[in-house]
Amino acid sequence: MSVPILKTNDVVLHFKKNRSILDVITRKPKQKVQALNGVSVTLQKGETLGVVGESGCGKSTLARVISGLHKPQSGTIEFNGTSLADRSGKSLREYNRRVQMIFQDPYSSLNPRMRVGDVLREALSVHKMCAEPEIPARIDQLLDLVRLPKDAAEKLPHEFSGGQRQRIAIARALSVEPEVLIADELVSALDVSVQAQVVNLLLTLQDELGLTVLFVAHDLRLVRHVSHRVAVIYLGSVVEIGPSIGLFSNPKHPYSQALLSAAPSLNPDDKGNAIELAGELPSPLDIPTGCAFHGRCPIATSICREIKPELLGDPKTGQVACHHVDQS
Amino acid sequence: MTNNNKSALQVSGLSTSFDIGGKPLKAVDDVSFVVEQGEVLGIVGESGSGKSITLRSILGLARRYGTVSGSVKWQDQELVTMPEKELRKIRGKEIAMIFQEPMSSLNPLLTVGLQIGENLSAHTDLDKPARLARSIELLEKVGIPDAANRLDDFPHQFSGGMRQRVMIAIALASNPKLLLADEPTTALDVTIQKQILKLITDLSSELGMSVILVTHDLGVAAQTCNRLAVMYGGKLVETGDTKSVISNPQHRYTEGLLRSVPENVEPRTQLYSLPGTPPSLANLPIGCAFAPRCAHATSDCEAGKPALVGEAHKVACFNAATPVQARPGVAL
C-alpha cells in the first residue's frame, strides 16, 4: 500500500464541561465529554472513507479535528507525512487549503449577505489561487463544475434551494484546489430526490479531480454507495474498519451487525435479521469500562467489562475491536 | 388487519389553504383516503409536500391558521365542521398525535408523570392512584426501564429516544383508536428508530389501533406500513398496498423516488436522480405539479391536473407506467 495522504494516530479529544453552581457546592468533579478516545484512521490518495455511527458517537468531531477546527488533547494528524501540530504559518495555511470541509447545513453555512460570486472570490483571493484579473473566469469555471448557471454568481444564498446551496458549498471548497474533502453529513439536510443529484456530483468530481474524501453520514445506504472503505465508530472509538463491500455484506463486530441490520430496507419482506439492541447509546460523559459496547452487546462476557479490545486484523481485509471475533 | 373492513377514518376532498400575504397557499389540495381499523397507512413525501398539514387538518389543528374544506369522517362524525368544544373530546382521546420533535413537544417545566396524568385526567374517569398506576403501566409498555422512579423526572433528564417514548405513552394514555404519527423517528438514530417503529406496529396489532405514519424515508414506510400514499405538491399522486407501490410504482415521481435510493445498486455508480427540485406550494403549476420534473410529461400534463384513479392501487398520472406484472423479485 502506498503512503497514506492523511493519517490520524490515536487522536483523543475530551471537551470539558462547565460545572453548575450546585456541582461546585457539592464538590462534584469536573465532567468531560469524551468525544474521541484514540481514533486512528488512514486515508489513501483518491479513496473515500465512510464514517458511520449513531449521533453523539464522535463522527462529526473526528471530521472537525481533521479539518483543524479542534485541537486534539493527544495524538497526531499527519498530512503527507507532516504532523498538523508541527505546522504553523505558511505550512498551516497550506494544510488549511489542501484539506477542505463541507458542512452539514446548507442553510446556515453560507453567509446570507454575500453573493455567491463573492463567497468564491474570497476563497480564491485569500489563498492567492489566481491573479486578480483571472478571478471572474475562475468563478465561472467553478460554477460550471458544480452545474450551476453562470448568473448564480450575482445571486444571494436565499435565492437557491438546499441542493443548490450544497453545490455552492462544494464549489467554495473546490475553489482552493484541495486534495482532501471532509464531507460532514453532506446531503442529510436535503430531500431524497435531491440527495442523489449531489451524491452524483461528488462521485464525478472525485474521479475527475482525484480527490480524497472523508464521508461522514448516518445514512448507511449512502455510505455504502460512495465509500471504498468504512469505519464504524462507537462512543469515540473505531470498532470496525474495512473495505466497504466486505463490511456491509459481512459485518463482524456485534455493534456493526446491529447498526447495519437496523437500516430500514426498501423491500417490505426483508425485515432485517432483527438483531435488536437493548437500550441506547451511553452518555459520552460516562463511558463504560472495558469495551464501551458491553452494556448493549448480546455476546458480552466478563472480559468485555474489564479490558478494552484493540483494533486487530489486517488493514487490507478489515479490522475489528472485539474480544469475541476470531482474528485469524 | 381486521376482517370486517370497516373504515375507521374517511377523508374526502380535504383541502387546506393558508393566506400568505394576501395570496392563498394551498398546502393540501383535494386529498381523499381511508384508514381501515388496525391498519398502518404511510404518507410519504418530501418536505413541503403537505403531509404534515394533512395530519394537522384531520385533527383540526390547521383550521385556526388556515381554511380547511372537504370532509373528515371519523366513525360517522364529521370533524371538519365540528365545534372546537366537541372536537376536544375526540382529540387526544380517540385520535392521538405524536409530533416530530421529541425535544420540543414536551413541556420542559413539568414532570413526565404530570404530563401523562394530564391526559388521563382529561379523558378518563380514573382517580388519582389509578392514574398513577396507569402512568407507570404506560411507561413500562413503551419500554422505559425503572418506570416507577422516572415519573418525577423532567423531560431534559431523558434522551431523545426516551422522550419520543414518553410522547407515545402520552398519546396512548387514553387508548386511542387512531394514532397520527408525524415523522416519529426522524430525529432519532437507526437503532432507536427500529425500536420505536416496532413499538408502534406492535401496539397497532395488539390493540387494533389504526395508525397514519407520515415519513420521508421510503425504507421506514416499506418496513412499517400496510398501505402507502405518496404525496407531491399537496396532492396524493399514488396510493396502494405497500408491496404493490414499492415493487410496481405507477407514478413517475414514486418511480424516481424509489430509484434514487441507493439500495441494490453498484457502489460508486451514478445514482438515478430526478431533475430539478420539489415545487414551492405558493407557486404550483396549473397542471400536474410534477410535470416540470417529469421525463414523460406531455402537453396534457401542463394543461390539467390528473385525477387519482384506479381500484386498489390508484395513481394520478396521465402517462402512468403501464401496469406490468410485479417485476421479478423486488427489483429496486
**Domains defined for chain B, CATH in brackets:** 7-94+176-263+273-315 (3.40.50.300)
Which pLDDT score is estimated for B328? 39
Burial of A100 (0-12, 13-18, 19+ CB in 10 A): buried
Q: Where are the alpha helices (DSSP H) in chain A?
A: 21-25, 59-66, 89-98, 116-126, 135-145, 162-174, 192-209, 220-226, 244-249, 254-262, 302-306
- Other C-beta atoms closer than 10 Å to the C-beta of B191 total 23
Q: What ipTM does this complex have?
A: 0.83
The residue among A21 and B16 whose pLDDT is bigger is B16
The answer to whether the CB atoms of A266 and B219 lie below 8 A apart is yes
pLDDT (mean) for A85-111: 91
- pLDDT of A136: 94
Please give the average per-residue pLDDT across A29-37, as a whole number: 88
Q: What is the pLDDT of residue A1?
A: 52
Terminal alpha carbon distance of chain B: 27
Work out the average pLDDT over B182-206. 86
Answer whether residue A31 shows pLDDT above 70.
Answer: yes
- Distance to chain A for B90, nearest Cα, Å: 33
Task: Reply yes or no on whether the pLDDT at A279 is more than 50.
Answer: yes
Kindly report the nearest CA distance between residue A27 and chain B, in angstroms: 21
* Interatomic CA distance for residues B242 and B214, integer angstroms: 14
B4 pLDDT band, cuts 50/70/90, is very low
Strand partners, B214: B43, B182
CA-based nearest distance B230→chain A, Å: 13
User: Domains (ranges, CATH) in chain A?
Assistant: 6-320 (3.40.50.300)
- When the pLDDT of each residue in chain B is averaged and rounded to a whole number, the result is 89
User: Mean pLDDT throughout B145-153?
Assistant: 89
What is the pLDDT at residue A17? 80
Give me the residue from A192, A197, A280 closest to B216, CB to CB.
A192
Segment B81-115, tens digit of pLDDT? 999 999 999 998 999 999 887 778 899 999 999 99
- Look at residue B203 in the predicted model and tell me its pLDDT: 86
Is there a contact between B246 and A277 if contact means CB atoms under 8 Å apart? Answer: no
Distances in Å between the alpha carbon of B20 and those of A80, A305, B233?
Answer: 55, 59, 17
Q: How far apart are CA A86 and CA A109, in angstroms?
A: 29
Q: What is the pLDDT of residue A2?
A: 67
Of B26, B99, B21, the C-alpha closest to B59 is: B99
Write out pLDDT tens, residues A263-277.
888 888 876 556 777
pTM of the prediction? 0.88
Mean pLDDT value of segment B172-188:
89
Residues of A in contact with B222 (CB under 8 A): 264-268
- Name the pLDDT band for B324 (thresholds 50, 70, 90): very low
Residues of chain A in contact with residue B190, where contact means CB-CB under 8 angstroms, are 54, 218, 220, 259, 262-264
**CA separation for the pair A71, A85 (Å, rounded):** 8
Lowest mean pLDDT among A93-97, B14-18, B47-51: B47-51
d(CA B89, CA A215): 50
Listing from the earlier edge strand, what are the strands of the sheet with A212-216? A99-102, A180-184, A212-216, A48-52, A229-234, A237-243, A319-320
Contact between A269 and B189 using a beta-carbon 8 Å cutoff: no
Select, from the ranges A44-48, A281-285, B187-191, the one with the highest average predicted confidence (pLDDT): A44-48
Residue B275 has pLDDT above 80, yes or no: yes
